[in-house]
Amino acid sequence: MELKQLFSEPNGWEAARISLGSSLAFFSIYAYFELLHASGTVATLVLGAATGMSGIAELLPTDHRYVASALRVTALGILVILVVLSLWRLVS
């Protein structure tokens, strides 16, 4: 993702459907493993929340560019934190 794309205006349903579908898939995977096997992981919930925020950012009206940018940056930050924490657990 280019920096220009990160701070652009929302792109509408065509860009949001993949993110929202991914979010639904992550939440469904978590629910399946938690309800049937009692082994759902928090990382799956974090991935679902981050992709959901990205999808919501794309569904905003085009004049809400700054809110969409803030949601995208927050989602990206959450994913970076998840990667750093995963690497931290792997090293220690």
φ/ψ (deg, to 5) at 61: -60, 155
Contact between 75 and 23 (Cβ < 8 Å): no
What pLDDT digit, counting tens, does each position of 26-81 carry? 999 999 999 999 888 999 999 999 999 999 999 999 898 899 999 999 999 999 99
70 or 9: which leads in pLDDT:
70
| Total structural domains within the chain | 1
Measure the CA–CA gap between 21 and 13, rounded to whole angstroms.
11
pLDDT on residue 24: 97
pLDDT on residue 39: 87
Indicate whether 1 pLDDT > 60.
no
Domain range for 23 is 3-91
82 or 8: which leads in pLDDT:
82
pLDDT on residue 11: 86
5 or 44: which leads in pLDDT:
44
Measure the CA–CA gap between 57 and 76, rounded to whole angstroms.
12
